[in-house]
Chains A and B, each alone.
Chain A
Amino acid sequence: MAIYNEIFDQCFRTLQGTGNKALEGYRRTRYNRAVLALRSQNYFLSCLFFNESGAAGVTGVDRTLPLERPIIIRGGGTNAAIIGNNAPVVDAPSRGSINIKIFRSGSNRAQLSLESMLSTQFLSCGAGQKWEFDWPIPWVLDKNEIIQCNFEQASATDNTDQYYAVNFYGVAVDPQLRCDPSILEDVKEQILKTPIQKPRYLHLKTDQGAGTIVLPTIGSDERAVANTIEVPEHMLILGWRRVIVGMGPHTGAWTPTNVRLVVTGGKAFSRVEIPVHGFEYFTTPDNATFRFAVPHFLQKGASLSLSITSTIETLDEQYMGEIELLAVSV
């Protein structure tokens, strides 16, 4: 909300007739935020657990990919919170529930939790923890370190081939601002040219997708690539909203994880495709959007792209969807 409030304040001052007084400070804030966005990189990491039988007691272990730079972990979430069709808030929904232990590598490191906990107790669902991606305290994962998740199916699912995922969201910061110096000059020029930043929703859409994302057919391992327009000016991507891709508006979020995504184009958000539902549960219901801790800088003329693969779970309604990126001009 910081950007929103800054822009509101500038709109307010403009209508009050005092806009020019604060213009210099407002411009400086815009420039500094653009530099921060250029310097930072949003990362998504994920650990997966696939339970083919759906039976209770099945265990699994997965690790995040090691990164070559330190990353500030802002928070995390799982898709295993509310996945029952009709009983989303009971302890044993029809999609089952899982216990999770989360470790990080390296000796002498404080661990997130030494005990095995029901996922809903500390990651999501609102039972023990708010639907929230921002953990109370961020922590730094050093370069080449990994996070390991031990999964255990705590109650059986009604269906087979059940995916569970724990996603982590973090930010890496480049100590050196390695970008083409002309970009900074361009940013300055854009700031001088436009007195107040402008909002915009950028759509990710597949070819012949009627403005949205459509997978070729309903089935597993169906792939699609979606792109935004090439942005006409330097933009900051603040976050996204998503609907239907694996989450029908009618049946709701209890549709199981069935789509993964990765946003690429310029700096990659993630090295691999990750189950997206681990994010969705934290964009709803009181946020509506997944907001980045630090905006993603999208250079003039660039676009973002997205690849989607359907998984082998429940197939209805996963063939179409919509993702909007929330953007503000620099």
Chain B
Amino acid sequence: MYDSQLDAMIKALASGRMTPPFDVAKQFKQKRINSLNRALGCTNVFASASGNFPLTDSNATFTTYTKPLQRDVIVMGCSLMAADERQDNRITGEFRVRLPNPLEHLSQNYIFPALGFAPATYSVLFPAPFILKASEQIQVDFGWNAPQAGEPLTTGRVEIVFFCASVKDCFDQDDADLFDRAARYVNETDYQRRVLLNSATQGSIAVTSQTDSPFLGGISNMVVYTPPGISSVAVTKGTLTSSETRQADVPLLVVGFSTAACGESIRITDTGTGYSFTQGDFIYSHSLFYPEEFIHSLYRGPYYSYFRLPVPHLLRPGATLFTEHLATPEAEQDPFNPEYLVWECITP
């Protein structure tokens, strides 16, 4: 869509106006409506599975399964994250993905995940998507293998998240109404706009970790764990907090996600539909977003400012995105307190 909009804008300026010529506008609007249709027809499903090596032995293995889903989904890719997020061994061991019949194993060998499945920083997509039938499970085997032999072993929790999309075969009345409203918005506007939705703990006061003094204007604009007013003290494992965006005033296509989180798990709900992206599970926030890139350890990744959702999510007007944040008991690092969480959206 970026190129299409740029093209339309260039043609508009070339014709000496701010709005694109009629035929260009018509074509561009049709594209926007098509992508709206696709966004309404797809829903993000983040299916996670986790486990840990039973002992620090290079022959250790373990197997984990995704939960059976209620619908057929398209599986697009996966990311892996280990509990110890502080070190460059944050993804430990190797894994292989075994798919139910009639699908074939993705790989006959174990795969070292760091380059391809590091969350957000690198491409997490498989060479091609595949369909996983409802009630089927994906089996994931983890093992310490070469080339990791000789590397430090840990028995920390390891999590794999599969990025899936479910597809609607028809729209119900609510969907059809929403589509009409969004299509009307498309027809009334020349271009799409970028909208950032900040997610914050309501009524919270964000303070600096050095002096515990409040940020200027840091009221209800960041994610804050209790006790409020203190960030120099580590958050107790298992502490839960929540954050919520403002209400969407027009239909919005949610395309990305960014957080400063460490050592926390999250689950995300669309309050308009009650839909949970993670099927009610908590997943490591870094399985979606990791601000460092793996090749140059400790370099904050300038390459991805946010995690791009596998398929855009259509947020209804009046709805919010509600996120629960759990200071993960198994994580080595404590959550940042306060931290930020931003959703990137575009208008239809």
Contact = CB atoms under 8 A, between A and B. Distances in A.
A103 to B, nearest CB: 31
B132 to A, nearest CB: 10
Contacts of A197: 128
Contacts of A287: 122-123
B146 interface: yes
A25 B303 CA distance: 36
Interface stretch (B7-15, B101-109, B246-254): B101-109
Interface stretch (A35-43, A115-123, A201-209, A258-266): A201-209
A286 B116 CA distance: 10
Contacts of B129: 4, 7-8, 11, 199
Nearest to B122: A288
Given A211-B146, A286-B304, A322 B112 contact: yes
B41 A12 contact: yes
Given A15-B169, A211-B109, A212-B146, A201 B127 contact: yes
A285 interface: yes
A320 B128 CA distance: 28
Interface in A266-323: 283-289, 320-322
Interface string B69-113: 000101010000000000011000000000000011111111110
Given A200-B127, A322-B112, A209 B76 contact: no
A4 B112 CA distance: 22
B137 interface: no
Contacts of A252: 294-297
Given A285-B293, A286-B303, A286-B304, A11 B131 contact: yes
A25 B123 CA distance: 28
Interface in B49-73: 72
Contact of A12 (B42, B108, B297): B42
Contacts of B139: none
Given A199-B130, A327-B127, A229 B169 contact: no
Nearest to A250: B88
The B interface, classified by DSSP as helix, strand, loop or mixed, is loop
Most chain B Cβ neighbours within 10 Å, of A210, A211, A289: A211
A4 B128 CA distance: 5
A159 interface: no
A328 interface: yes
Contacts of A289: 116, 123
Interface stretch (A58-66, A141-149, A177-185, A236-244): A236-244
Contact of B130 (A196, A209, A242): A196
B107 A203 contact: yes
Interface string B285-329: 000000001111101010110000000000000000000000000
A102 to B, nearest CB: 26
The residue in A88, A283, A284 that gathers the most chain B C-beta atoms within 10 A of its C-beta is A284
Contacts of A243: 112, 114-115, 147
Nearest to B104: A198
Contacts of B17: none
A169 interface: no
Contact of A250 (B38, B89, B167): B89
Given A16-B167, A212-B146, A243-B115, A11 B130 contact: yes
A10 to B, nearest CB: 9
A106 to B, nearest CB: 35
A244 B147 contact: yes
B295 A284 contact: yes
A203 B147 CA distance: 13
Given A12-B42, A284-B115, A288-B122, A212 B147 contact: yes
Contacts of B145: 210-212
23 contacts: A4-B129, A8-B129, A11-B131, A12-B42, A12-B167, A15-B74, A15-B166, A15-B169, A198-B103, A200-B106, A201-B107, A210-B149, A211-B146, A250-B89, A250-B297, A252-B294, A252-B296, A252-B297, A285-B121, A285-B293, A285-B294, A288-B115, A324-B116
Would you list the 4 A-B pairs with minimal beta carbon distance, nearest first? A288-B122, A15-B167, A288-B123, A201-B107
